[in-house]
Amino acid sequence: YRTLDGLDVRGRRVLLRADLNVPLRDGRITDLTRLERLSPTIGELAGNGARVIVLSHFDRPKGQLVATMSLRPVAEALGAVLHRKVAFVDDCIGPEVARAIAALNDGEVLVLENTRFYPGEEANDAAHAARLAAHGEIYVNDAFSAAHRAHASTEGIARILPAYAGRLMQAELVALTAALGNPARPVGAIVGGAKVSTKLDLLTNLIARVDLLVIGGAMANTFLAAQGAELGKSLQEAALHDTARAIMNAAAGHGCDILLPADFVVSETFAPNPSTRIVPADAVPANTMALDVGPATTDAIITAVKGLKTLIWNGPLGAFETPPFDTATLRVANAIAAATKSGLISVAGGGDTVAALRQAGITDRLSYVSTAGGAFLEWMEGKVLPGVAVLATDSA
């Protein structure tokens, strides 16, 4: 793929695909990370005299104009985050857009309305992509987190205009390649979360690539139950016991060690600060459920992390939104941060993971924290991301 290195953008209309899909609660943006991380690209383009036209989706309006899914408030927040004037038009094609673009001066930034208000976006309709492409002369994709979607603004346009990776896209690709492409070994992965079923492809890909796989979260229960452990009321997927055993066998074949919980923090109810007990992972009492991995497991994970050169992390180890079941996740997060200081390459991603890191206050102490949720998972599954693949083909 081509980067912005040496690209002359002065006076040119640059169509920048960003991911402005920020979390919103009661009309307020709850996390500005995705906007902050656009700063290098927008700063560089605008600083070099480009006329920057930003395209993004927001939420899932399914091809309809849904007023609550307008990008207007996000465009305002982007201006505040970047400390620059950011204009907005409430459409992404049509005469009003054309007028706003014609009025842009060098170095100015304009955000267009939610690309998903048009059905042609998700359909990746060629005529629709051409209408979007007509706004600019150069296409820059900085939306790694939307690159798993083959949509008009993430994929179609790149077939029409000369296409480049923005600085955030570039940073994501460099970090992710360092972690799974050709990593410094030993390389380990920590995978948590509730369900094996949603992470089957991911686990299958990882066991073939990493030397150590730590499985935490409720998905570990399914693996333990498959080996005959008593799990009480703990969440697990009984239908996946054979699958779990097959993954463990395949891991052994690849020389990948699997680290499963040896102890759990259990409680009779899932509520904040209930009374808890620590029990062996194969003997959860019938009236209780596992809600976090226990201290012995946490120690084992921390020791294992210290022996790694590269680590990829996705998914919390326990029910971390509800203290004290965030204990293991926070302890491991801090240990990863400390190991990173002494040379570990640590890469984390996926929605819940980033929330957990923020809770631990260590997002800036890992080597790299991805802005991506679904795209990070698909990348960990070894899938080709269409928005990335199209940048590598020198089509226009």
**Tokens standing for 336?**
């990863």
For residue 374, the minimal CB distance to ligand 3PG (Å) is 5
Report whether 351 belongs to an annotated binding site: yes
10 is an active site residue: no
Cα(378)–Cα(385) distance, rounded to whole angstroms?
Answer: 7
**Tokens standing for 159?**
């077939």
Contact pick of 8, 36, 60, 306 for ligand 3PG (by CB under 6 A): 60
Q: If binding is defined by CB under 6 A, does position 21 make contact with ligand 3PG?
A: yes
Report whether 365 belongs to an annotated binding site: no
For residue 36, the minimal CB distance to ligand 3PG (Å) is 15
Q: Catalytic residue, from 34, 37, 131, 331: name it.
A: 34
245 is an active site residue: no
For residue 146, the minimal CB distance to ligand 3PG (Å) is 5
For residue 351, the minimal CB distance to ligand 3PG (Å) is 7
For residue 31, the minimal CB distance to ligand 3PG (Å) is 11
Report whether 201 belongs to an annotated binding site: no
Contact pick of 145, 288, 298, 353 for ligand 3PG (by CB under 6 A): 145
Vertex 266 angle, CA 260 and 267, to 5°: 155
Q: Strand 263-267 relative to strand 276-280: parallel, antiparallel, unpaired?
A: antiparallel
Nearest residue to ligand 3PG, using CB? 21
Region binding ligand 3PG by CB under 6 A among candidate stretches 77-85, 145-153, 216-224, 249-257 = 145-153
Region binding ligand 3PG by CB under 6 A among candidate stretches 143-151, 156-164, 172-180, 207-215 = 143-151
Contacts of 321 (CB under 8 A, 6+ apart): 355
- Determine contact, residues 287/266, Cβ cutoff 8 Å: no
Q: Smallest Cα–Cα separation from 153: which of 178, 183, 117, 181?
A: 117
195 is an active site residue: yes
Q: Smallest Cα–Cα separation from 158: which of 17, 255, 314, 351?
A: 17
For residue 242, the minimal CB distance to ligand 3PG (Å) is 30
Question: Within its chain, how far is the Cα of 57 from the centroid?
Answer: 16
Binding flags for ligand 3PG, 146-175, as an x/- string (CB under 6 A): x--x--------------------------
Vertex 54 angle, CA 59 and 155, to 5°: 70
Report whether 394 belongs to an annotated binding site: no
Helix 327-341 vs helix 295-306: crossing angle, to nearest 10? 20
361 is an active site residue: no
Region binding ligand 3PG by CB under 6 A among candidate stretches 99-107, 144-152, 188-196, 319-327 = 144-152
Cα(238)–Cα(279) distance, rounded to whole angstroms?
Answer: 21
Report whether 352 belongs to an annotated binding site: yes
Q: What Rg value do the Cα atoms of the chain yield, rounded?
A: 23
Cα(180)–Cα(206) distance, rounded to whole angstroms?
Answer: 9
* CB closer to ligand 3PG out of 31 and 76: 31
* CB closer to ligand 3PG out of 64 and 182: 64
Q: Which of residues 328-387 bind ligand 3PG (CB under 6 A)?
A: 373-374
- Determine contact, residues 237/290, Cβ cutoff 8 Å: no
- Determine contact, residues 152/135, Cβ cutoff 8 Å: no
Q: Catalytic residue, from 49, 79, 351, 382: name it.
A: 351
Binding residue count for ligand 3PG, defined by CB under 6 A: 8
H/E stretch holding 328: helix 327-341
Cα(158)–Cα(178) distance, rounded to whole angstroms?
Answer: 25
Beta bridge partners of 86: 109
Name the site residues for ligand 3PG (rule: CB under 6 A): 19, 21, 60, 145-146, 149, 373-374
Q: Catalytic amino acids?
A: 34, 195, 351, 374
Annotated binding site for ATP: 199, 321, 350-353
- Could you tell me which residues are annotated as the binding site for substrate? 19-21, 34, 57-60, 116, 149
